A = this chain, B = another copy of it.
Amino acid sequence: MRLTKFTDYGLRTLIYLALAPDRLAMIAEIAEAYEISENHMVKVVHRLGQAGLVETLRGRHGGLRLACPAEQIGLGDVVRALEQDLALAECQGGGGCAIRGACRLESILDEALAALLAVLDRYTLADVATPQSSVLLRKLKIMAKDADVRP
């Protein structure tokens, strides 16, 4: 019952960006910090951009940053934006099952999924990562870089 790798990496990217909101990050450095393929990361960042969660500034001093403060990014909304298909079983995803439509399991799974998302809705990205999260900053080797400071 895993979140997709896409959502997992999206959450990690947002955590990275929330740790140093005053600088612009490069996709390559985030990929390196988490030891994730940069190709994967490009797609994840593209989706985060489409979802309005991050913004990319182009140019020589360009890079990536959160589109709004971490306090305003709810974890439930991140999961809703990144999971392509929020369904615990085929029936919830619209897939075929011989008893679909007549079986009560689908509504029970709906209720279970709603309970999961309700927990995530109680937290924001700021509950996971802030510029004061010194252990996370150290583990991800994030340092303030004057050259990258937000204009």
Contact = CB atoms under 8 A, between A and B. Distances in A.
Interface string A119-140: 1100100011100010110011
Interface size class of A (residues with CB under 8 A): 35 or more
Interface of A: 1-4, 7-8, 11-12, 15, 33-35, 75, 79, 83, 85-90, 93, 96-99, 102-105, 108, 111-113, 115-120, 123, 127-129, 133, 135-136, 139-140
A93 to B, nearest CB: 8
Q: Which of A2, A33, A127 has the most CB of B within 10 A?
A: A2
A49 to B, nearest CB: 21
A112 B104 contact: no
Contact of A116 (B90, B96, B105, B113): B113
Nearest to A93: B2
